[in-house]
């Protein structure tokens, strides 16, 4: 049942696209025939001026009727809806009838015009319509030749018998016309029809393929929207995060460059007196990076335990990531654990950006530390942790390279200097106010240039020592 429903949706989508194309094709065909009417009018005028030498009586009778048939589709476009399927047959028949009158009046001059209806039929992407146009053109073309022999401008090719121009039509002329005039040109129309049919068929298949591709893109877009929400829900996003803990204040944001990103942040209580913060950047973009991000985030969270050195945490996580890394991705990561009682901040860095630290009463300054090797880059790596002492009022700001490498339309990088300046100017702001200010400054710098990398930031302020 589900499969049949999916097939029906595809059919409905294709039908809608075909109907929209037919309406557009009808307008295009009407415009083309209007141009043909203009060409006919110019030819009529040139004949009146004596530049052309077609008999005036024949031109004055045949050309107005031809022009009228050519203009009928344009009139229809203005007064009726073009969505009904029968409209295309009316337009094609108007073209056929206009050329029929022209060919009947002037057999010598109307031969090439029979290719016009066949060419117009291509735009409907229907081989059946092109075949219909061919059959109708054959019939009216053949009839127009014989009408032209009696009423129209005499064609010397068919009115000549034994080298002598005849004034009347004979049975021999009729048979010769059929064999040497109608049949060869009918075969030419068949050849043109074959080309038009091929074009119509190929174009229709391309349209159907485009519709399927569009549906597939829509499906993927829907799934990516779901993935975006899932990824956002995986990251701590409720602030204030720990309203019951007066010892610290924390805030973080992540803005992916694509629907899903490879950056992530995390913060959690290791135990009652230790707060862990994590910020990381997976190489690459999109779904592969996002999936690897989930693995990395989960492993770091699971292996961070009370009393376990952070260097050992990253060493174990690195080994596990290397085992499940067939795509050759890697992660730059920074993790810190703040002892809320003593103020000791233990950290480990795996190739990530240096953090900024603002001491109480001071401004943000980059804290230079030894950057270890990236996670999942090589087996057997050993990571070493470090530590600093924080006092109440100190703040730590950490980020991914999407911040400093944000690029404007002139291909200039946002850079460390600009980040440092905006941090210094806003040192007194709490984390929840600081990060939006930085993001706004990045947006102002980048302008209309596209975002090429995920932008992730995290800020924690140590407010007071814990009494637990």
CA 306, 312, 314, 320 dihedral sign is negative
The residue segments making up the domain with residue 309 are 239-462
Given 185, 219, 253, the domain boundary residue is: 219
The pLDDT value given to residue 278: 97
β-sheet bridge partners, residue 282: 331
Within 10 Å of residue 214's Cβ, how many Cβ atoms?
12
Please give the tally of structural domains in the chain: 2
Domain boundary (219, 253, 271) is at 219
Task: Assess if residue 226 is contained within a domain.
Answer: no
Distance CA 199, CA 217 (A): 26
120 and 249 together in one domain: no
Q: Which long-range contacts link 442-448 to residues 24+ away (Cβ below 8 Å)?
A: 442/403, 442/406, 442/414, 445/406, 445/408, 445/414, 445/418, 446/406, 446/407, 446/408, 446/414, 447/408, 447/409, 448/409
Burial letters 222-251, b for 16+ CB under 10 A, else e:
eebeebbeebeeebbeeeebbeebebbbbb
379: in domain: yes
Split the chain (468 residues) into runs of 10 and give each run's mean pLDDT.
41 68 86 91 86 76 89 89 82 92 75 84 85 89 79 56 55 70 79 83 80 78 70 81 93 80 88 96 80 89 95 95 85 96 96 95 91 91 94 96 92 94 96 96 92 90 87
**Residue entry with tokens 């980020």:** 399
Residues 246 and 212 in one domain: no
Is 416 domain-assigned?
yes
41 in the same domain as 126: yes
Q: Which residues pair with 407 in a beta bridge?
A: 413
- CB 115 within 8 Å of CB 192: yes
In a domain, 57, yes or no: yes
Could you tell me if residue 228 is inside a domain?
A: no
Q: What is the per-residue pLDDT for 190? A: 84
Tell me which of 219, 254, 289 is where a domain ends.
219
Q: Are 394 and 462 in contact (CB under 8 A)?
A: yes
Residues 147, 269, single domain; the answer is no
Question: Do 26 and 94 have their domain in common?
Answer: yes
Exposed/middle/buried for residue 318 (C-beta within 10 Å: 0-12, 13-18, 19+): buried
Count of alpha carbons within 13 angstroms of residue 364, beta-carbon side: 27
**Cα separation of 189 and 115, whole Å?**
7
Residue 224 forms part of a structural domain: no
Query: Do 116 and 80 have their domain in common?
Result: yes
Residues 322 and 413 in one domain: yes
Task: For residues 119 and 81, state if they share a domain.
Answer: yes
Residues 198 and 258 in one domain: no
Task: State whether 269 and 145 are in the same domain.
Answer: no
167 and 267 inside one domain: no
CA angle in degrees (0–180, nearest 5) for 355-435-261: 80
Cis previous bond, 240, omega within 30: yes
With respect to residue 403, please indicate whether it lies within any of the assigned structural domains: yes
Q: Is residue 468 part of a domain?
A: no
Cα 332–chain centre separation: 31
In 3D space, the residue among 139, 91, 135, 141 whose CA is nearest the CA of residue 112 turns out to be: 141
pLDDT of residue 293: 86
310 and 406 assigned to the same domain: yes
| Residue 371, domain CATH | 3.60.40.10
Strand partners for 279: 265, 334
């Amino acid at each position: 049942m589900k499969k049949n429903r999916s097939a029906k949706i595809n059919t409905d989508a294709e039908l809608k696209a075909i109907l929209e194309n037919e309406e557009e094709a009808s307008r295009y065909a009407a415009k083309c025939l209007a141009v043909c009417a203009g060409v006919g009018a110019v030819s009529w005028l040139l004949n009146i001026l004596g530049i052309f030498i077609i008999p005036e009586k024949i031109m004055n009778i045949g050309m107005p009727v031809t022009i009228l048939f050519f203009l009928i589709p344009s009139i229809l476009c203005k007064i009726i809806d073009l969505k009904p399927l029968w409209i295309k047959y009316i337009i094609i028949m108007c073209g056929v009838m206009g050329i029929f009158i022209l060919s009947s009046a002037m057999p010598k001059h109307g031969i090439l015009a029979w290719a016009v209806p066949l060419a117009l039929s291509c735009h409907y992407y229907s081989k059946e319509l092109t075949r219909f146009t061919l059959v109708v053109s054959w019939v009216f073309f053949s009839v127009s030749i014989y009408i032209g022999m009696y009423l129209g401008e005499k064609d010397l090719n068919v009115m000549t018998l034994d080298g002598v121009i005849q004034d009347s039509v004979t049975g021999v002329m009729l048979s010769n016309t059929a064999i040497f005039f109608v049949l060869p040109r009918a075969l030419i129309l068949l050849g043109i029809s074959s080309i038009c049919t091929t074009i119509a068929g190929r174009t229709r298949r391309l349209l159907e393929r485009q519709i399927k591709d569009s549906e597939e893109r829509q499906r993927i877009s829907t799934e990516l929207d779901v993935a975006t929400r899932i990824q956002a829900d995986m990251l701590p996003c409720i602030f204030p995060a720990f309203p019951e803990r007066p010892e610290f204040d924390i805030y973080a944001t992540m803005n992916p460059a694509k629907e899903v990103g490879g950056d992530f942040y995390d913060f959690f209580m290791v135990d009652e007196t230790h707060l862990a913060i994590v910020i990381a950047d997976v190489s690459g973009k999109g779904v592969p990076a996002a999936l690897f991000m989930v693995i990395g985030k989960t492993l770091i969270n699971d292996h961070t335990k009370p009393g376990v050195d952070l260097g050992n945490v990253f060493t174990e996580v690195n080994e596990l990531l290397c085992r499940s890394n067939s795509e050759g991705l890697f992660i730059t990561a920074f993790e810190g654990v703040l002892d809320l009682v003593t103020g000791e901040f233990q950290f480990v860095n795996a190739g990530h950006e240096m953090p900024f630290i603002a001491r109480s009463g001071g401004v943000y300054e980059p804290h230079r530390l030894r950057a270890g090797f990236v996670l999942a880059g090589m087996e057997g790596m050993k990571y070493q942790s470090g530590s600093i002492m924080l006092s109440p009022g100190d703040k730590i700001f950490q980020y991914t390279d999407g911040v400093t490498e944000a690029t404007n339309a002139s291909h200039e990088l946002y850079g460390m200097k600009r980040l440092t300046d905006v941090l210094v100017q806003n040192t007194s702001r709490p984390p929840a106010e600081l990060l939006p200010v930085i993001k706004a400054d990045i947006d102002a710098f980048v302008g209309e240039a596209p975002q090429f990398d995920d932008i992730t930031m995290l800020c924690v302020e140590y407010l007071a020592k814990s009494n637990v």
